[in-house]
Structure 1
Amino acid sequence: MTSSDAERAAALRRMKTVATGLLAVMAVIFVVAFALQDSYPWLQYVRAAAEGGMVGALADWFAVTALFKHPMGLKIPHTAIIPRKKDQIGESLGQFVEENFLSEDVVRAKLDSARIAQKAGVWLEKPESADRVAVEGAALIRGLFTVLNDDAVQGVIESMVRKHLLDPPWGPPVGSIAERIFAEGHHHQLVDLLVERAADWVDANYSVVTRVVAQRSPTWVPRLVDGVVGDRVHAELSKFIRAVQEDPQHDVRISIDTYLRDLAQDLQHKPETIAKAEEIKGQLLDDPRVRDLTARTWSTIKNALLDAVNDPESELTTKFKAAVQDFGSRLTNDADLAAKVNRWIADAASYAVRTYRSEIAGVISETVGRWDAEETSRKIELQVGKDLQFIRINGTVVGSLAGLLIFTVAHAIFG
């Protein structure tokens, strides 16, 4: 028995004592009045009142007691109602809650008046609240990583990589993206960069160019001629690269554009090119590499998150707290956002009530059904028994007044 149950039990005992004591007082008054009424005729009225009070007290004692047990242990029909009807009471209570409380209209009206989003916003924008959310979130992440099996997670990541990255052919989607990039000219900046780097290399490597020319010339050619030819080749090469660099419509640039556009088309429609792309994909991402990639990906994510949540001053934690406060401030000040969040909450609650109302209400009937009959009667009596004792007291008082009134009227009529 909990402390609150103990308090209720004590209050119930006190009220039972008062009600029973009142019955005893009526009995004493009745005996005295009955014994002396011949000597003192006015005591007949007192006797009638006490007699009516006893009848009322006994009748209401029987009624109240019959709810929870058999009066005086006698198995009188229609007594011990709660122990006998426990399951029906549980079902009726569950049905009552389902029909009157687990209603979409009731739930939505209550949530609309509660203004949950605004209240949550006021709480979230406080620094101490953001700290609390960060602490609880960190504990949740640590708990998840403790529960999660690394091999299982890596298996899930690997299956997702295979399903969404490796199994689909690369050629058509890559070709489609490349076609759009080439059509919009986004690759020109890369071409410019490559040409610029080539020009810089030629300018900085005169000796390399002349040496290569000398190495490729016949042995019978004089060294002087090699030098002249090498110088000429370097000059022409530099001139050619400068021309490509300065002329957006140079033949080399046009040839590059044509080649890239044709390649994008072939990746989408030419079986040989698509097969070649699949071969390259297989060479780049074979099974060992995929497993190593998924293992390193999960390890990196896990370690980074754990390091961040374990450090209250980490950048992730700091930004998370700032984001929580910012979200709380927006909920408080942005009426449209708050209304949208409240609508989401109401929709979610309405869906839960609409879908699971029977299961939720069923918890009541199932819980009551598991209770012992006597235990159920005791629990209910502890909750309402104190108030029910007032019925006995009121019955005593009302019975006394009724007895007095009946006796008075009868005496007035019949003398």
Structure 2
Amino acid sequence: MKVLTSFFDRLVQRYLPDAFLFAIILTIFVFLLGVFFTNSGPMEMVTHWGNGFWDLLAFGMQMSLVVVTGYILASTPVVKRFLVKLSSLAKTPGQAVMLVTFVALVACLINYGFGLVVGALFAVHVAKRVPTVVYRILVASAYSGMLIWHGGFSGSVPLLIATPGHFLEDTMGLIPVVDTLFSPFNIFIVVTLLITLPIFNRYLLKGADPLRTTNASLWKDESKEAENATVVQPTTPAERLENSQVLSVLIGLMGLIFVGYHFVTNGFDLNINIVNFIFLFLGIILHRTPRRFLDTVSDGVKNAGGIIVQFPFYAGIMGMMASSGLSEQISLWFVDFSTEYTLPLFTFISAGIVNIFVPSGGGQWAVQGPIMIQAALEIGADTAKTAMAVAWGDAWTNMIQPFWALPVLAIAGLKIRDIMGFCVMILMFSFIPIALGFLLF
């Protein structure tokens, strides 16, 4: 463990560029793959790239708001006190890593957007409580919660194929969540990761370089800042409105009433929009005045820059992968040597490879789902298990794909190279319980 962890950490620190440059290099790599291995010429690949470039605008806005609204809520006095109290459960670096991992896994099991924000924010508070912990491993542990999201309540693939009218309904019919999320193989994978991943991450501490953990912004004394802050009394009608608690309570209650209505009419539908909605309006209420809320928004927006710039590049990559047929070629190559028994496992591996280039669960299912489901029907494999294999493959290689790490890194104040060496180790370990889940059940 120590040798491997140290090796991958040094390798990544030396050779992995910034996340934005990673996206550019990946763009060029996919362009070359399309030119040499598909029927698309250079101009066609450029066209595929340009046509897909803006396809993630709505999703990019959602993820930007995940970071901003999460920061807003976490900056409220009430939430800060709760996170500080919860972080007090950790007394040693090993306990800190295990606690952050477990909290992030549970949070991502509920909802991936919620889990990303909670995991990152909790890592910051635990680092303050246990300053001797290797902060980079703490943040990698927070991000490792994303391993479990597609086996949880916000998994896009299992929820989609259980919804009437989904685009593959004529081929595979409706598959209820009892056959996917609550199946024996999925429960085995989820429970095994919940138990073993915190322990595994704790052992990553043995191979880390503690000298590369400093993040001075974390250690500032916020209580002294609050004491030294100058309180300015409002003197004009505009300033009184900006400092009015009544306005914050009124609009905040309006938002929370809608949240209640949403759950009453839709059940436990904790999608990314409603998570952002809850974070936003709880933040408005708990900051008490519009002025305090807006000051926090200004600070939180700074963390979303990487998402705003990089998501269009990943949309362009996805456009090249889908339109050129590269995704289909990768999928079919694994299908060629699969059997009824091994198809789910090889589907999982192929989905992991495709996810590096198409890092979106819904987008990947649209590209890869029809191929794998048709193959499952032709050779008599379990379609529910095959669909979940695509989902778990998508979640698995998130560990080495900066796309989903951007919100976590923005909140934690780190770069992708700071955590990726540890994430490689998490990737290799997690392959074991996921593969066993598809082979044993």
TMscore range, shorter length: under 0.3
User: Of the two structures, which has the highest relative contact order with CA contacts closer than 8 Å and spacing of 6 or more?
Assistant: 1
TM (normalized to structure 1)?
Answer: 0.21
